[in-house]
Structure 1
Amino acid sequence: MSKTPTAPADLRTAHQDLHSEQGALRGEHPGRARNPVIKVADIAWVEFEKPDLDRAEVFARDFGFSVAARTPGALWLRGTFAGSPCVVIRRGRTSRFIGQAFRAAERADLDRLARATGTSVRDADVPGGGKRVDLLDPSGLPVRVVHCAEELPELPGQRPLVLNFGTDHRRTNATQRPPREPSRIQRLGHLVLETRVFTRSMNWYLDTLGMIISDFHFLDGQRERGPVMAFFRCDQGSVPVDHHTLAMHLGPGTHYVHSAYQVTDLDAIAAGGEYLAERGYQRSWGIGRHIQGSQIFDYWRDPDRFMVEHFADGDLFSADVEPGWAPLSASGLAQWGPPVTREFLGTNPSPAKLRELLRALRDDSELDPARMLGLLKAMTP
C-alpha cells in the first residue's frame, strides 16, 4: 500500500483527544492492511428477505425511502442522492438479513477481486444493470462487491433549515415551521454487524476490501487481548469519507445489528420521528449524539423487528487519520441524549439469547468466559 501523507498534528491530536483516552500502544493493530486486494469506494446497499413486501413498502415510505423499482419478488429502495439503490427487500418465507453490497471504485476491481478469491464476475440484478462478485466473510455472511452500469438520478430532497446563532441572524421576518412528514432519506451511511469471529472478520475486510479503521473499542482490563469492536471507513486517500461505513463487534451471534440512513438535519430527524411515532412504530433509542462518528441519531424498529437509524452531521475523515482506541461501555455510546436502552443494546434476557451464548462458548468462536463477562459488564446501562 502506498504511503499516505502525514496528518497535521492538530488533526491527529483532535482525533485522539475526542475519541480515545490514548492512541495505539506499541504492537497494537495498525487498523489497515499493507497491500489489500482492492479498495471499495462505499457501501452500496443492504439486502433482506421479508414475507410481506406491501407492509415493508409502507414502512419504507414512512421512514423516508423512495421506491426505485418493484417486482413481484423484490422491492428496491433508494434515497434522494444520485447513485445506486440502498436497500433490497426480496420476498421470502421468513424475515432475515441476507447480506451487504459494497461499491467497487472501478469495473476492473471486480476482475482483480475475482482472481484473488477464486470467484467469478456475474451480472448484478440492480436496476440499470451492472456486475458483481459474490463472497462470504469469515462469519459466513454474504458480501457482494458491485459496479453499477447506471446511476439513479438525483431526487428532490429536504432543504436544511436556516438557523439563527447568537448574533449571527440568518433568518429574519420569517417563522420556522418544519413540516411533520417522513425524514427524506438521502443515502445509506453504514451497517453494523455482530460476529463470533471478530478478529478474523476484521482482518478480512481490511485485506480483501481495503477498508481502514477509524476507532477501536477494547474491554476494560483486557486491552492486551486486542479490540472487540471496530469502526471501518473506506480509503479514498485525501478525500474525506464517513467515519464508518461498517462497524463490527464481538458477540455470541452472527447477525445484522442495524443500518443507518442519512437525512438533512436535526429537524428532519425530529419531525420524521414524530411522524413515525404517530403511526405506531417503536423507537429503540434517541434522539442523541454519538461519540464515535459524532452523528445525531434516532433508532427505530421496522415491523419485522429490524433496527434502522436516521442520522445527520457525521464525522468525515481522510485516510491519514490514525485509529482511536477507547474502552467499550454503554455510557460511552453517546455525548448526549436519553439513557441507552436495553432494547437497543440487545441485552434483554431470553431463552434464545441464552442458547446463543452457550453455543458461542462451545463452538469455534473468539468468545471465552472472561470476554463474555467483560462484554456483559461493558453493555450494562
Structure 2
Amino acid sequence: MSGQHDVHSGLHSERGALAGEHPGRVGNPVAKVLDLAWLEFVKPDLERAEAFAHAFGFTTAHRTVDEVRLRGSDPGSPCVIVRRGPRSRFLGPAFLAADSADLLRLAEATGSRVTPLPESLGGLGLDLADPSGLRVRVVAGTHALPALSPQQPHAFNLGHEVVRVNGTQRPPREPARVQRLGHVVVQTTKYRETLDWYLRHLGMIVSDFLYYPGQRERGPVMSFIRCDRGATPADHHTLALTLGPSNRYVHSAYQVADLDALAAGGEYLRERGYRRSWGIGRHIQGSQIFDYWRDPDGFMVEHFSDGDMFDCTLEPGWAPMSASGLAQWGPPATKDFLGLAPGAESLRELRAIAHALREDNEFDLRRLRGLLKVAKS
C-alpha cells in the first residue's frame, strides 16, 4: 500500500510477502476494535484462582460468591473475569469497540443482537462466534476503572549513561504488578478462515506471519495480529492465531513495568510453589521480554515487558516457524510450553490430532509433519 513501510528495511522482519500471498488486512472491515477489553474464564475454585492472581500481580476489582474480576494498575476495564463453574475452561475474549455504532454495524452484518452488559460493567455488548467456534464478545461504553498506584520502573545506568548516582538497585521480591492485558493466543483447526474473519469483522491487521519450513507455498500457519488504530501505535499483537489439531486457548499475556519487576515477581511466584512454564527470555516476533507460568488450573499466563508497538503503516513480515526461533535469548523452549510434556494436555492434543486428521479442516497429514518438524527444531 502507498505510504507503508517496506519490511525489508530491517524494521521487524527479514522477509516480506511474495506475490499473491496474504496481504494481512482487508479493505472496508465491518468495524475496527481498539483493544482487548478482557478475557473470560470458568473455574471451579475461585478462592484458589484469586490467590494465584494476587501472587501473579492482579488486584481484585469486583468479587461475589460466583465471580471475581481481576484488574491491572492501568485505568479501564478489568483484565480477566472468572466465573465459578464445574470445570475449568476459557470462555473467550472481549474486544473494545470505539462506540455503539460499531456494535450496530457488527450486529447488522452478523445477524446478532446488541444487549446491555451487567450494570457493574456498564455499556453494551454483542456476542459473536468465530469460525472455530470461539465466543467473541465486542463491547462499548463500559465503565472505566480508575488508575491504581503503579509499580515504578527502575532507573538504569546503561553503558556510560549514568542516571543513578549514590543509589543502589534493590528490587523487592514481590508480585510483579500487572499494568494491563496485552494479548491472547488461540489455536484453531480453521486457521485461514478464522484469520480472515477477524480481519473482516474486527478490522485487525497482521504484524507477522509464520509458515512451516518447506511449506510456504501452502500459506502461513500462524499470525500475530494487532488492532488498527491508524497513526496511533498498537501492540505488535493483541491476538495471535495458530493452526493446530484442536480449537483451544494457548496463553494470555500481561504487561509489567520492566525486567526487574518481571524477574523479582517470578521469584515471588516460584517461592510460593507455582510452576514456571518457560522463561526468562526475549521474543523475536514482538520483541517482548517474557516469563510464562501455569496457574493452578493449568492455564498458561505470561508476564511481559518492552514489547513492539506498530502503527498502521507497517506491512506484515514473513518467517519460517521453529522452536528455536521463538526467542532471541533465553533458555530453550520447554516441552511444557510446546505442549509436549507428558500429562493431560499432551494426551488431549494427541487425541485431537487423531480426530483432526479424520475431519475436513486445514490440519492435514502434511501440516502434522510440519508441526512435528517445528517441535524438533
TM range (shorter): over 0.9
Deviation at 1:34, TM superposition (A): 1.2
Instruction: Provide the rounded CA distance (Å) in 2 between the counterparts of 1:79 and 1:351.
Output: 34
Instruction: Provide the rounded CA distance (Å) in 2 between the counterparts of 1:116 and 1:340.
Output: 41
Instruction: Provide the rounded CA distance (Å) in 1 between the counterparts of 2:279 and 2:22.
Output: 32
Deviations 1:82-106 (CA, angstroms, capped at 9, x unpaired): 0001100000000111111000012
Among candidates 353, 357, 374, match of residue 357 of structure 1:
353
Among candidates 98, 119, 126, match of residue 112 of structure 2:
119
Among candidates 271, 275, 280, match of residue 278 of structure 1:
271
Instruction: Provide the rounded CA distance (Å) in 1 between the counterparts of 2:298 and 2:203.
Output: 32
Among candidates 135, 150, 158, match of residue 151 of structure 2:
158
Paired amino acid for 2:4: A
For 2:295, the equivalent position in structure 1 comes to 302
For 1:7, the equivalent position in structure 2 comes to 4
State the secondary structure of the residue aligned to 2:282.
Answer: strand
State the secondary structure of the residue aligned to 2:357.
Answer: helix
Structure 1's unaligned 5+ residue stretches are: none
Instruction: Describe the shift of the 1:5–1:178 C-alpha distance in structure 2 as closer, same or farther (beyond 3 A).
Output: farther
Instruction: Describe the shift of the 1:345–1:351 C-alpha distance in structure 2 as closer, same or farther (beyond 3 A).
Output: closer
Contact 1:84 1:148 in 2 (8 A): no
For 2:45, the equivalent position in structure 1 comes to 52
Instruction: Describe the shift of the 1:52–1:210 C-alpha distance in structure 2 as closer, same or farther (beyond 3 A).
Output: same
Comparing 329-338 with 370-379, which one deviates more in the overlay?
A: 370-379
Structure 2's unaligned 5+ residue stretches are: none
For 1:19, the equivalent position in structure 2 comes to 13
For 2:370, the equivalent position in structure 1 comes to 374
Deviations 1:175-200 (CA, angstroms, capped at 9, x unpaired): 11010000000000000000000000
Comparing 326-335 with 128-137, which one deviates more in the overlay?
A: 128-137
Alignment map for 1:294-333 (pairs within 5 Å)? 294-333=287-326
Normalising by structure 1, report the TM-score. 0.96
Paired amino acid for 2:52: F
2:85 is the counterpart of 1:85? no
For 1:186, the equivalent position in structure 2 comes to 179
2:335 is the counterpart of 1:339? no
State the secondary structure of the residue aligned to 2:376.
Answer: coil
Instruction: Provide the rounded CA distance (Å) in 2 between the counterparts of 1:46 and 1:149.
Output: 15
For 1:230, the equivalent position in structure 2 comes to 223
Normalising by structure 2, report the TM-score. 0.97
State the secondary structure of the residue aligned to 2:198.
Answer: helix
Deviations 1:286-313 (CA, angstroms, capped at 9, x unpaired): 0000000000000000000000000000
Contact 1:139 1:197 in 2 (8 A): yes
Deviations 1:43-70 (CA, angstroms, capped at 9, x unpaired): 1111100011111110000000011101
State the secondary structure of the residue aligned to 1:373.
Answer: helix
State the secondary structure of the residue aligned to 2:162.
Answer: coil
CA root-mean-square deviation: 1.3
For 2:54, the equivalent position in structure 1 comes to 61
Identity %: 60
Contact 1:232 1:246 in 2 (8 A): yes
Instruction: Provide the rounded CA distance (Å) in 1 between the counterparts of 2:211 and 2:361.
Output: 17
Instruction: Provide the rounded CA distance (Å) in 2 between the counterparts of 1:317 and 1:122.
Output: 33
Instruction: Provide the rounded CA distance (Å) in 1 between the counterparts of 2:142 and 2:332.
Output: 45
Comparing 117-126 with 161-170, which one deviates more in the overlay?
A: 117-126
Instruction: Provide the rounded CA distance (Å) in 1 between the counterparts of 2:35 and 2:75.
Output: 14
State the secondary structure of the residue aligned to 1:261.
Answer: strand
Instruction: Describe the shift of the 1:46–1:206 C-alpha distance in structure 2 as closer, same or farther (beyond 3 A).
Output: same
